[in-house]
Chains A and B, each alone.
Chain A
Amino acid sequence: MQQKTQVHAEAGKQDLVVIREFDLPLELLFKAYIEPDIVEQWMGTKVLKLENRKHGSYQFETTDPRGNTHRFNGVIHEFGENRKITRTFEMENTPFPVQLEFLEFEPLSNHTSKLKMHIVYKSVEDRDQMLRMPFSQGINMAHNRLQEIVNNLK
């Protein structure tokens, strides 16, 4: 069976592509990216700022189990309603360089849609480090919060 979420990361390249097909109409998928209270639910972050427009910016914040806060921010370069978002992503107070994200949304049918997320990193090493990071605490924490939300929905 084909996996719903696919990651394509070729060896020796500084980018990767994440592709996911959703059992949701395109408009609902896109809404999950632009409504702050919904972003908070699935990303497990607090949304401090989210300006959905060209040259707008966003800032998210997560709190780890020890109470430390971690912030992420970026600038939106392109914003096409129900179509695409091009933005930067940066983790504050970390040595990781900023990354560039191209998000493309497309309808598959009236009830299904697809997201393609193309992420470009500063170097091959930066990409590989980010790929290996999901074990790290900050993201595990976000992951646990997501699990809680899903469990509450059941």
Chain B
Amino acid sequence: MQLRRDVFQAIADPTRRAILVLVASQSMTAGAIAANFDTARPTVSRHLQILTECELLQQEQNGREIYYRLNPRKIKELADFIEPFRQLWDDRFNTLEAVMKQYKPKE
């Protein structure tokens, strides 16, 4: 079954956000990541799978081990997604400022 893998759904989960924070500083194996959580190992594996499917994490083969690391491109995409919204308000507020600089009190 093909599930929808939306980045925003992926980061809506607190454990998955914690995983992202964890691997932000260094690449880690699934075992090392799981050691940081009380949740069962298969649950952590499932979270890793979801994060990998939506490309927030990348897998790296190092000898026999698979390491997980952040995908900077995808993280940047996430950071940029609010930019059009910001731009919209910035434009509105720039107009507000321009209009009020011309403001003459009514007689």
- Which positions in A face B, CB cutoff 8 Å? 3-7, 9, 11-12, 18, 20, 22-24, 28-29, 31-32, 38, 41-43, 115, 124-125, 128, 130-135, 139, 143, 146-147, 149-150, 153
Minimal Cβ-Cβ distance residue in B for A18: B89
Do B86 and A150 touch across chains, with their CB atoms under 8 A apart? no
If A5-B93, A146-B91 touch, whether A153 touches B86 (CB-CB below 8 Å) is: no
Minimal Cβ-Cβ distance residue in B for A29: B100
Do B82 and A9 touch across chains, with their CB atoms under 8 A apart? yes
Do A42 and B96 touch across chains, with their CB atoms under 8 A apart? yes
Q: Which residues of A contact B86 (CB under 8 A)?
A: 3, 5-7, 18
Do A28 and B81 touch across chains, with their CB atoms under 8 A apart? no
Nearest CB on A from B100, distance (A): 5
Do A32 and B100 touch across chains, with their CB atoms under 8 A apart? yes
Number of chain B interface residues as a range: 20 to 34
If A12-B11, A29-B100, A31-B103 touch, whether A7 touches B93 (CB-CB below 8 Å) is: no
A22 to B101, CA, bound (A): 11
If A6-B86, A20-B89, A134-B84 touch, whether A41 touches B99 (CB-CB below 8 Å) is: yes
A38 to B102, CA, bound (A): 11
A153 to B96, CA, bound (A): 11
Contacting A at CB under 8 A, from B1-55, are: 8, 11-14, 17
Q: Which residues of A contact B102 (CB under 8 A)?
A: 153
Nearest CB on B from A57, distance (A): 21
